[in-house]
Amino acid sequence: MLYGWIMGAGGNNSADDESLRLRRIVDSTPALIHTARPDGYLDFLNQTWIDFFGQPIEKLLGWEWTSFIHPEDVEAFVQKWRESIATGECFEGVARVRRADGEYRWMVHHKLAMRDEHREIIKWYGSSVDVDKRKRAAITKVKRAEERIQQSERELRTIVETIPAIVGTALPDGSVDFISQSWADYTGLSREQGLCSGWKQGSGWASAVHPDDRDRSTASLQAALTTGTSSDQEIRLRRADGTYRWFLSRNFPLRDDEGNIIKWYGVLFDIDDRKRAEDHLRDTRIKLSRASRIATVAELSASIAHELNQPLMAVFLNAQAAKRWLAANPPNLVQTNTSIDRILRDARAADEAMQHIRALFKQESFDKTEASIPEIMAEAVRLVQEDPNKREIPIDRDFDENLPNVSVDPIQIQQVFINLISNAIEAMEDSRLTSLAKVRAAVTDQNEVLIQVIDNGPGVDDPERIFEPFLTTKEKGMGIGLAVSRSIVEAHGGRIWAENNPGGGATFCVVLPLSFLSPDRLDFQRLLEPNTP
């Protein structure tokens, strides 16, 4: 009497027919349908349910159906069903139910109360849906996700434990809650000993910090904790054998979307070998710098001797000439007096050169006077040609008419051109061509005087670097003459450079201003610094 059961009414023939029709519909539907009394007593199961259980209907009514629920699910499922009975709220639950073949299938169960006009429950109607495939797929997916997470955790832990560094984490308050195995391997302390409540001096990992570094290390970490900023510091950590090694300690915060610190991460890198290498390199540089200074002084001493060689050679040759004139019979006193005058002149030139060199080393200001470039060049050529080895090389001079004077220190500028002319002559010693040196001077459009020393030698390999200290192309060269020349020219507000000629040879150019209103001092001390251009 399904219709009467559903409608709660007695039957006549018409009602019986309708009831049978509805019963057939309910039994043939693929859904698992059931009903229960207000107290939860199961009083009806459709044929689909009976076929699922494979049991007679009488073994399923009442509360017997609970024996078919999986043991792990039954207690929570029944408890939730009783709560719905007590409250009248609709019921929804998930549980595994044993099928006739013994297999448990995941099902979603729904129960809804039917009430009378007084809102009293008169019946519970329920249905169950087989979701086993979906549930198992979800479970499989979750398990795979969990396995991937576990695998990632294992890989991450392996990375953390194998990287050549000590890794740790701390809570927002600074309490260290993790430290890698490399800590225990290095210090010989347990991981538990590496943990501490906050960054406290002498506790936890700080117990392995060198006593001289603890205060500084603790203060740095506390400052980072207070300000929420990263910290970098170098500290020494005690190894298991008692040896202290230098480590670079880096700590940085991890923040959430709102900017709150949720974790501190720290890493310690062993930098002891690097520190020792840096110390060794620093000591080596100091020693090298000291040796370079000594070598530089020696080079400069030799260069000074070279610069003084020209006037002193002239003194020597004139002294020999005076001696020969006196030894003549009768003595030629006129020529002797001429040679003595030349000796005095060249000795005075040597003394002035020495005085100016002394001024260079003391970085004293130099006095400038109005001087004639042709006169300076003539004296420079004369001093160069006092050397018998340079006397045979012709030097062609070409100066603009009415060339204005320049405000310079004549002795210093003369030394520049003595050096340039000597270099030009020496550059042509092995030339297959007829050696010829030229000296030119002219006024440029920029209100400057351009002086050029030109040779037809092999040219310059690197015109840009030729003026660097101790860079020389001569077998016995010092590599200081051009560097000093540049310093002198620049101190006069001028410029000096070298160019290779299209047809061979080189041209050294010196530009001096016609008016130099801001006297300066030569920066000669920089030549004493190693590797300083």
Phi, psi of 79 (to 5 degrees): -60, -40
- Closest-CA residue to 353 (of 395, 295, 314, 396): 314
Q: How far apart are CA 248 and CA 257, in angstroms?
A: 29
Domains of the chain in sequence order: 31-130 (3.30.450.20), 163-270 (3.30.450.20), 304-528 (3.30.565.10)
φ and ψ at residue 38, rounded to 5 degrees: -55, -30
Q: Which amino acid is at 91?
A: F
Q: What is the pLDDT of residues 445-487, one digit of tens each?
A: 778 899 999 988 888 888 888 887 655 555 555 556 787 788 8
Q: Are 370 and 408 in contact (CB under 8 A)?
A: no
With residue 315 as reference, give the H or E element that holds it.
helix 272-327
What are the residue ranges in the chain where pLDDT is below 70?
Answer: 1-19, 28, 30, 159-162, 194-204, 288-310, 351-367, 388-391, 430-433, 469-480, 515-533
Non-local CB neighbours of 192 within 8 Å, separated by 6+ positions? none
Question: How close are the terminal C-alpha atoms of the chain, in Å?
Answer: 115
* pLDDT of the residue at 55: 87
User: Using CA atoms, how far apart are residues 166 and 184, in angstroms rounded to an integer?
Assistant: 9
Non-local (6+) Cβ contacts of 142 within 8 A are none
* pLDDT for the residue 168: 84
- Alpha-carbon distance of 361 to 528, in angstroms, equals 10
Look at residue 507 in the predicted model and tell me its pLDDT: 93
* 263, containing H or E segment: strand 261-270
pLDDT of residue 7: 40
CA distance 209 to 321: 83
Helix, strand, coil percent values for the chain (each to nearest 5): 50, 25, 30
Distance separating alpha carbons of residues 412 and 418, to the nearest angstrom: 10
